[in-house]
Amino acid sequence: MKKNIILVIFAIVLLSCNQTKTDKSVNPTNNISEQKSDSNNQTVILSLEFAELKLSELPDAIKVTMTNNTNDTITTGEHFRVEKFEHNEWIDFTPKDIAFRDIGYDLNPNGAKTFNENLFKNQIDYKLGKYRIAKSYLKSDYRKTKEDFNIYAEFEIN
């Protein structure tokens, strides 16, 4: 119940923000791991600057670009998760005491937004393996459908 209340508050704040940051000049890499398609086979894509990182040279942050290839304006925020693939499932590795600015960004059709996502190196004990960044977004009909969408971009630490 608490999770649903937080999700509703998050959605209300996101939908009430009318800030648009569209950067059509962004050219995301082809490091796309997973996409969420809507009924018209259009997608919102999450891509990374680098798909492979060396453990010994792990950066403090990684650039993640969300690209809206739909005909709908979508809303996203700064919240994200770091997940690790272990024992055939994705595990949330995001530190529990992390807070994000509660701000909404509208991505117009064919628009993109790049985020500089902190990898929390001082709080996550990274090992070799497969990880991903997970972000969510809302479509313009969220008030009616109450449906949010998750998208992912994978990276490997070796």
Cα–Cα distance, 120 to 77 (Å, whole number):
18
Cα–Cα distance, 152 to 34 (Å, whole number):
5
pLDDT tens per residue across all 158 residues of the chain = 555 555 445 555 444 554 433 333 333 333 443 444 444 447 999 999 999 999 999 999 999 999 999 999 999 999 999 999 999 999 999 999 888 988 999 999 999 999 999 999 999 999 999 999 999 999 999 999 999 999 999 999 99
Half-sphere exposure in the Cβ direction for 62 (13 Å, CA): 30
Point out which residues pair with 65 in neighbouring strands.
47, 114
Of 51, 69, 38, 54, nearest in space to 141 by CA: 38
Ordered domains of the chain (ranges, CATH):
2-157 (2.60.40.2550)
Task: Tell me the two tokens of residue 59.
Answer: 């950066």
**Which residue type occupies 80?**
F
pTM of the model: 0.73
